[in-house]
Structure 1
């Protein structure tokens, strides 16, 4: 485990390096002469006549031994600003070897010294030289560090973790000029180290002393320097920092270090994802590998946030071919470049196509014969789809029907559809269109005329996805505010993109057809709390540095989302984060007739007739803040 920094030494001239080597080597030899001189004087009760012994062969030979050992252990090859443990060890080994050789020589060969003086002279010389050579390196390092930081305005920083990683982090910060952090305190939960010092810096108990230490030392930054810190404790510490206007940084996982070395540029800001307190997801790697390895897989919407992550998580399982379908040209091209090695190897094939175009889809199924389909292509933005219901149905409903029917025709083994919590008791066009797609694939699954297994996965908002609230808030904060929130009571479920896609793969692997799998999204989050945390993560104070403005609910928007209908229950699965929803079954012939009529209606511009039919197919669809509110089916008829 090493640390590095981008330093000017990389550009040092050869002449400067040569001068440093000669200087260090000369200093060490001078110290060697001073050490043997001191030894002769100390053991001879400071009789100056004993200095004549320096001209005898014994001291001269010792200096030759020193010269050879310093050269052999390369004690002169140091960079003063980065002198460390290995350099001190080399000095120790070089001095020890020469002293041992000198002692053995004096014991077995006639010497200019009295026999009883041999051991004292060797020992005094040894310890004096260790002190001089080792101490000089420490002194030069301290002088260099002091001169280097003079005039530099650094921000007081605390490190959470007084173990190996925290100690190394402090050392690299103190030896590097290319940053603005000055470590003034350590925090650690281990009571055995409280009130002790690490690298000369006091260690405090964060539970008892955090607020006082932050105020006393005017701490502006905290760096988390603990490996395998429990999620709950990490979130607690971050929240404590944010409450005291302390900005938090973290060290990346060791697997992300380059050549087992951490560069200070890799210190990362805390993101809102880090506050979700999520435990790592355990996948059935063997089952997923069995399903994917050597198979042809189709991923629709592969250039989107979810689709692209599914592609990247599938590729390590060695599919025979992964066909990535998307109608967005630029994101697809960028993805092809990012996965160039897989494209070159013929494993990943990016394809421009539209799920609404059944003819093009049929050509793709005919040519590549996919065995698994992950359907992530969809229009997802609630306010936009409220204004364009025809497009929502064309993509989210007709596109899904096209793919599902082709999956049956070409004997696809599994069809995994990505749905949304907005399909539950939908209040908008987007959610209703996804619920209709769910109804269709479930009803199709129940047909005995095929063996394709249709599986639906349903989850909430994904952090950092295209158009999600996180990048919007981030941009507003960077622009100085205000941060806009629709309503003070609005809440949402959140999940990270990798987490959502891992669960999609797991659900797809465990499903046998007909299931709607619901993911454990944790506790719902108030959007205003999210906004305040993001402002604090930026090192600012909500309401002072950045204001929060309420704009009112948008068309089709709910105050809160649901993962299950009130009339639905769940059954557990073998995975603690995945449950199976107990949903109502639908007659295939009946729903197909209605959905086919719905698709036909997209060919004209009669939006009200189309939305009215959507509300017939999904009786629980009740519009919110929408012009289509007038089309809602009366409460009484919904319950009949």
Structure 2
């Protein structure tokens, strides 16, 4: 008994080894040969039961070897043994059918030749058809059996039961691919018709349901929904309420990659969980690649704040235009080191320099400009956290204003072709030091751009919050959800504009290419989003129920924080550009001599580290800067 048990275990190990790895073609050919040997024997046995009194259980006559030899030759010609058995599907069935049909035709043709010349046949015509049926059935059954054994051995008992959103040809193909997938991470149990009208009730023997039916009953224990990337974009843009309904029903939503990104074999590995950025995505941006290529190709490009979320993505976006050299400048050592490792691994052909420097240190910047002579500057280095800057106003002004001034002056001195300043919507009618410091930097950039002697094109870009950027609300909420709450929101009515990092940086590059100098480009941020709605969506995407599993707590507005952000000042208007998502803010700011004196005075007060006088000058330079009073903060907190 022990020996039998040991042999059984050993056989199972060998079987697992065969199913785990690709089985050599020679072994598959040998097994197919054995299968058709027994198929031919079975055929002669069935014929003998009809034509002879006693059945012939085996036959090794010349007729048998002729049929067997014909089939072997067909195997070698069509290479039907060359497929990977664990991926057996419809195409494999067609291949086996072609093999057996061709063999049957050859047998029948040779049959007629033998009958006409020798007066006798290899096998009766009906026998040839019976042989073809048996051979095809057993060859294909063998493949299906091996595939099923592989799935059972490698199956995961925790596989998710999923519904496919949609009933189009593409959606059905996705379902078939998941069903045929060997990893079985997902078990397809049905389809959802998003239109709400059912013309048929089943596909692939699986039920089709509407969202209303999902609200009233559990469909075969489904906990997840899979949706294609294209359909996710369409619903996010045109029917966001449909996605909200699915999330409210507590389904986990997964997305498929674009069709061209599939690896062709393991579809389960390509299916990713939908994140908040997917739900807020908008129409893809179309860049003027030829124009931008002419501007950025073979140029030395300096990116400040290159280790930050915006700066690092600007670097990545620039790579496609094959610049001569990218100068990655940042004061943060570790993030810049990580960025350089990324560049070495992903883009070893790109020439870049990693420069540790602080934008406040003008002498260090002078050396960099002299050594590398940049053609284009993208200035993204800044302090951006509103409450932190409220507590440290001199630091905010020193980095955001003086740092920008240093770079602008050096760009002017070194005749840089283009200077793109990355600003923020908080610079519009600012109520906090961070926003006011960025607005003062905008003013300085414009003051230099208007000079007749200026050869550099100074361009300002202004946009709102970026999803997933360092220090944004999204990573903060993720951390709170991981800790099972509560999620803290400052006010139930607080709203913000959001766009993805990828979208923001592409628009920065596009604006940098279209500017003539002095413009402030405003990006189409879409509709403002309530922060509390973001929190609820993130909770649902994590598989929890808002205010039941994870609580939402309101903490009151922080110092300098607005209920809503603006992209244009009250006295500003906009004009369109050739790009539908980029507008030009036409500022009414008057650059008289008094304003230029204020700019110089602000620099002096910051250098003196005089916080009070610096803010007083800032208020005169940016008259729309009206800090919130303590009474207003308390009112907003209610």
Give TM class, smaller chain: 0.7 to 0.9
TM-score normalized by the length of structure 1: 0.88
Residue aligned with 1:370, SS: coil
Aligned to 1:221: 224
Deviates more, 1:591-600 or 1:276-285: 591-600
Aligned to 2:615: 611
Aligned to 1:251: 256
Q: Distance in 2 between matches of 1:252 and 1:8?
A: 31
Q: Distance in 2 between matches of 1:383 and 1:26?
A: 77
Aligned to 1:562: 566
User: Deviation at 1:152?
Assistant: 2.2
- Residues 553 and 53 of structure 1: CA distance in aligned 2, closer, same or farther (over 3 Å): closer
Residue aligned with 1:507, SS: helix
Aligned to 1:34: 42
Aligned to 1:637: none
Conserved? CA contact 2:522–2:584, under 8 Å: yes
Aligned to 1:402: 406
CA distances 1:299-337 after superposition (whole Å, capped 9, x unpaired)? 111111111111111121111222121111111111111
Deviates more, 1:439-448 or 1:271-280: 271-280
CA distances 1:6-50 after superposition (whole Å, capped 9, x unpaired)? x97688479999877755542342123213433565xx5x65458
Conserved? CA contact 2:181–2:266, under 8 Å: no
Q: Distance in 2 between matches of 1:296 and 1:546?
A: 49
Residue aligned with 2:253, SS: strand
User: Deviation at 1:455?
Assistant: 1.0
Deviates more, 1:500-509 or 1:160-169: 160-169
Q: Distance in 1 between matches of 2:630 and 2:609?
A: 18
Check if 1:307 corresponds to 2:315.
no
Q: Any residues of structure 2 matched to 1:41-440 within 5 Å, and which?
A: 41=49, 44=50, 47-48=52-53, 51=56, 54=59, 56-70=61-75, 73-75=78-80, 81-110=86-115, 118-138=124-144, 141=147, 145=151, 152-163=157-168, 165-175=170-180, 178=183, 180-189=185-194, 194-204=199-209, 206=210, 209-212=213-216, 215-225=218-228, 227=230, 230-231=234-235, 232=237, 235-258=240-263, 260-340=264-344, 345=349, 347-440=351-444
Aligned to 2:533: 529
Deviates more, 1:586-595 or 1:317-326: 586-595
User: Deviation at 1:373?
Assistant: 1.2
Q: Distance in 2 between matches of 1:413 and 1:143?
A: 65
Aligned to 1:463: 467
User: Deviation at 1:611?
Assistant: 1.4
Q: Distance in 2 between matches of 1:343 and 1:365?
A: 24
User: Deviation at 1:240?
Assistant: 2.5
- Residues 36 and 25 of structure 1: CA distance in aligned 2, closer, same or farther (over 3 Å): same
Aligned to 2:520: 516
5+ residue gaps in structure 2? 1-14, 634-638
Conserved? CA contact 2:114–2:122, under 8 Å: no
RMSD: 3.2
User: Deviation at 1:556?
Assistant: 0.8
Q: Distance in 2 between matches of 1:113 and 1:211?
A: 74
- Residues 249 and 306 of structure 1: CA distance in aligned 2, closer, same or farther (over 3 Å): same
Aligned to 1:501: 505
CA distances 1:502-530 after superposition (whole Å, capped 9, x unpaired)? 11111111111111111100000000000
Q: Distance in 2 between matches of 1:336 and 1:117?
A: 74
Conserved? CA contact 1:571–1:580, under 8 Å: yes
Q: Distance in 1 between matches of 2:332 and 2:381?
A: 11
Aligned to 1:443: 447
Q: Distance in 1 between matches of 2:574 and 2:226?
A: 42
User: Deviation at 1:197?
Assistant: 3.6
TM-score normalized by the length of structure 2: 0.88
Q: Distance in 2 between matches of 1:437 and 1:183?
A: 56
User: Deviation at 1:146?
Assistant: 6.4
User: Deviation at 1:80?
Assistant: 5.2
Q: Distance in 2 between matches of 1:404 and 1:147?
A: 65
- Residues 169 and 546 of structure 1: CA distance in aligned 2, closer, same or farther (over 3 Å): same
- Residues 549 and 263 of structure 1: CA distance in aligned 2, closer, same or farther (over 3 Å): same
Residue aligned with 1:217, SS: coil
CA distances 1:551-585 after superposition (whole Å, capped 9, x unpaired)? 11111101110001111111111111111112123
5+ residue gaps in structure 1? 1-6, 630-640
Q: Any residues of structure 2 matched to 1:470-489 within 5 Å, and which?
A: 470-489=474-493
User: Deviation at 1:198?
Assistant: 3.4
CA distances 1:398-436 after superposition (whole Å, capped 9, x unpaired)? 011111111111111221110000000001000000000
User: Deviation at 1:271?
Assistant: 1.0
Residue aligned with 1:602, SS: helix
Conserved? CA contact 1:235–1:277, under 8 Å: no
User: Deviation at 1:274?
Assistant: 1.5
User: Deviation at 1:486?
Assistant: 0.5
User: Deviation at 1:70?
Assistant: 3.8
- Residues 108 and 193 of structure 1: CA distance in aligned 2, closer, same or farther (over 3 Å): farther
